[in-house]
A and B are shown apart, each in its own frame.
Chain A
Amino acid sequence: MSNRPNPLWQLTLARFREFMRQPEAMFWVFVFPLLMAIGLGLAFRNRPPETVRIAVLRNGPAADSLVARLANARGLAVQLLDSAAAAEQLRHGDVSLLVVPGDPLVLRYDSTRTESYLARLVTNDAIQRAYGRSDVRTVRDIKVAERGHRYIDFLLPGLLGLNLMGTGMWGVGFAVVQMRVRRLLKRYLASPMRRSHFLLAFGFARLATVTLEVVTLVGFGMLAFHVPFRGSLLALVAVVLVGAFGFAGVGLLVASRAQTVEGVSGLMNAFMLPMWLLSGVFFSNAGFPSAMQPFIKALPLTALVDALRAVMIDGASLMSQGGELAIVAAWGLVSYVVALRIFRWL
């Protein structure tokens, strides 16, 4: 006879160990979001105002004189090109605009591209100045390049939300279905284990892994990209916990009936893919039609990412995010209740 270990603690420990001992899980949870943050952070980093690259078509002495006059224009890099080379570079985006000297001067560019349109404004301005136009009013620039307004600042909370969703769903859903396939659920059922302990253990084990995820990602953002953290730590913890709980619930629901690992993978992707696109992780979702907005706002990932951004970057209070948190919690709660009712143990 011996002392009984605490079952809830043992179940939680088993879940945590199994998760941490899977190399694939470690990659998706810790390495993948970091790679994503590094990649996107570098691609969209704030650079000094970029030089506009344009070409002038070599079609006579007028072209040479134009290039000479534009040589000193600020923020403009001018090349003199033959028609074939000019056409190719324009097509590839190596130059944003082509000037065809003559009277009138012709500016050829793709009006649907922002950078081409910017090139048109800069080029026109430079040409007019080069030929003698002067400013009629004095203006003064004040440049804003503040932390908190950059793409990486926008991205990091989004990635954190995405990660909470992904690991919550995969960590719980996948594990449950695997246990069902391996008939381990049946074996547990044959023992006097409390079912509530079993399901709660998933939640508790998630809390431990979630802490590691958040520390990794937020810590990395702060160190490598100087992403500001303006809210209270307590508020962040609260939002993260609600998020982890919510998506663990959804993961449980998705896995409650599935009989194969392939089946549950399909269900998970079907649930998560719309949110990858719609929830404003990588770019603002304001661009979607207004008729879709109520639907988008009701998605759990949208609410979670909005709340994370508000708390981390804007320094919002927890209370102000009550609506978003309620949406995430409601998804979790309804999922848990439904999952418990329809859960298949055998």
Chain B
Amino acid sequence: MLEGLLAPDAGDIEILGMRWATHEHALRERLGVALQETKLAERLSVLETLTLFRSFHQRGHDVDDVIGMVQLGEKRKTWVVKLSGGQKQRLAVACALVSDPDILFLDEPTTGLDPQSRRQLWDVVEAFKAGGKSVLLTTHYMDEAERLCDRVAVVDHGKTIALGSPRDLIASLGAEHVVEFEIGGRAAAEERVAADAAWLGALPGVTDARHERGRWMLTVTELHRAVPALMGGLAERGIALADLRTHHATLEDLFLHLTGRHLRDE
């Protein structure tokens, strides 16, 4: 809808002070868009593809400059069909950059890419941001959002359930750490803990306790107080630990905390 491809059922969209109904062409001139799953023409080269997209816009970058920005210089004359997944994705982003847009829309730009290709794409996005321009990025990868975004909106079933900077959002968990543990031995032992879950949440330094697929997750403010208390509590009840780990809270923890489920495909 923001890209002007679908009409909203309700509400109002204003971008750069313009609306789709009245300023469609002007808006398209100033937005750069890389859609999910766009397959560019296979038998055109990188240079030909970018020249084509450049021709749609009144103003914009020199095509060769954009090829440099996305580090496709060596592939300048290579057909799209012969590019790797990461190179194709960088070309898709380059098609959005070629008009020197004020706002860049990226829809799941790194889905399916290997870690190296992801990082190369992140570099491109960060360079664009460093030019003082805005990026609107949708992603399923919380580490990507945490790394690239200044403001994050968590959307679940079409509703925004959290909005803020990654740091603030994580802070809203009320804790900096996550403790995960698994119970050793029988399911009966697990049931004993579950039946009496309240004591976990009430441990000193613990703000939240959740049970999911055999793992317990505690959101913790003070690790040095919570862990000994947890150990003591478990020993008191005669329960053995099979696994225990702690890490700094991430956006992923927030997402799980908010949605109460594992990351889903939709």
B43-74 interface code vs A (CB 8 A; 1 in, 0 out)? 11000100111111111111101000000000
Does A125 reach chain B (CB closer than 8 Å)?
Answer: no
A130 → B minimal CB distance (Å): 71
As a 0/1 sequence over residues 149 to 185 of chain A, the CB contacts with chain B under 8 angstroms (1 = contact) are 0000000000000000000000000000001001110
Contact A1-B60, Cβ < 8 Å, known A10-B51, A182-B38, A191-B53: yes
By the criterion CB–CB under 8 Å, are A186 and B35 in contact?
Answer: yes
Residues of B within 8 A of A186 (CB): 5, 35, 38
Number of interface residues of B (CB under 8 A): 36
What residues of B have a CB within 8 angstroms of the CB of A190 in the complex?
3-5, 28, 31, 33, 35
Interface centre among A4, A182, A191 (most CB of B within 10 A): A191
Smallest distance from the beta carbon of A29 to chain B beta carbons, Å?
15
Q: In the complex the two chains form, what is the Cα distance from A183 to B59 in whole Å?
A: 25
What residues of chain B lie closer than 8 Å to A11, measured between beta carbons? 52, 55
Of all chain A residues, the one with the shortest Cβ separation from B38 is A187
* Minimal beta-carbon separation of A346 from chain B (angstroms): 7
**B56 in contact with A17 (CB, 8 Å):** no
Q: How far is the CA of A187 from the CA of B56 in the complex (A)?
A: 12
Chain A nearest Cβ from B166, distance in angstroms: 28
Cβ contact within 8 Å between B44 and A17: yes
Q: A184 to B63, Cβ gap below 8 A?
A: no
Q: B151 at the A/B interface (Cβ < 8 Å)?
A: no
Once the chains bind, are B55 and A10 in contact (CB under 8 Å)? Answer: yes
B4 x A184 contact (CB < 8 A): no
Closest approach, in angstroms, between the C-beta of B221 and any C-beta of chain A?
A: 45
**Is B143's CB within 8 Å of the partner chain A?**
no
B29 at the interface (CB under 8 A from A): yes
**B5 neighbours in A (Cβ, 8 Å):** 186, 189-190, 346
A182 to B52, CA, bound (A): 17
Chain A residue nearest to B95 (CB atoms) is A187
Structural contact, B54 and A4, CB atoms closer than 8 A: yes
Contact flags A281-324 to B (C-beta < 8 A → 1, else 0):
00000000000000000000000000000000000000000000
User: Is B227 among interface residues, defined by CB-CB distance under 8 A?
Assistant: no
Contacts of A193 in B (CB 8 A): 56
Say yes or no: B62 contacts A2, CB within 8 Å: yes
Given contacts A183-B35, A190-B28, contact A14 B52 (CB under 8 A): yes
Residue A22 lies at the interface, judged by CB distance under 8 Å to chain B: yes
B37 / chain A contacts, CB cutoff of 8 Å: 183
| B162, CB-defined interface residue at 8 Å | no
The answer for the CA separation of A186 and B59 in the assembled complex, in Å, is: 21
In the complex formed, the residue of B with least CB distance to A5 is B55
A140: CB under 8 A from chain B?
no
Number of A-B residue pairs, CB cutoff 8 Å, is 86
Q: A190-B4, A192-B28, A192-B29 are in contact. Are A18 and B41 (CB under 8 A)?
A: yes
CA distance A14 to B51 in the complex (A): 10
Q: Which residues of A contact B61 (CB under 8 A)?
A: 1-2
Q: Is B159 in contact with chain A by the CB < 8 A criterion?
A: no
Indicate whether B25 reaches chain A with its CB closer than 8 angstroms. Answer: yes
Q: In the complex, how many angstroms separate the beta carbon of A1 from the nearest chain B beta carbon? A: 6
With both chains docked as a complex, state the minimum distance between the C-beta of B17 and any C-beta of chain A, in angstroms. 18
- Over the window 1-35 of chain A, the binary record of Cβ atoms lying under 8 Å from chain B Cβ atoms (1 yes, 0 no) is 11011110111011001100110000000000000
Establish whether residues B41 and A184, one from each chain, have CB atoms under 8 Å apart when the complex forms.
yes
B82 within 8 A of A: no
Q: Is B39 an interface residue (CB 8 A)?
A: yes
Q: How far apart are the CA atoms of A82 and B125 in the complex, in Å? A: 91
The residue that B39 contacts in the complex, of A7, A9, A182, with Cβ under 8 A, is A182
Q: A14-B48, A190-B33, A191-B28 are in contact. Are A184 and B38 (CB under 8 A)?
A: yes
Task: Provide a sorted-by-A list of 30 A–B residue pairs whose CB atoms are within 8 angstroms.
Answer: A1-B60, A5-B54, A7-B55, A10-B51, A10-B55, A11-B52, A14-B48, A14-B52, A17-B43, A18-B42, A18-B44, A21-B79, A183-B37, A183-B39, A184-B39, A184-B41, A186-B35, A187-B33, A187-B95, A190-B28, A190-B31, A190-B33, A191-B28, A191-B33, A192-B25, A192-B28, A192-B29, A192-B56, A192-B57, A346-B5
Known: A18-B43, A183-B39, A190-B35. 4 other contacts (CB 8 A): A4-B58, A10-B51, A17-B44, A17-B48
Q: Which residues of B contact A (CB under 8 A)?
A: 3-5, 25, 28-29, 31, 33, 35, 37-44, 48, 51-63, 65, 79, 95, 99-100
The 9 closest A-B pairs by CB, nearest first: A182-B39, A192-B28, A2-B62, A21-B43, A10-B55, A7-B55, A5-B55, A190-B33, A193-B56
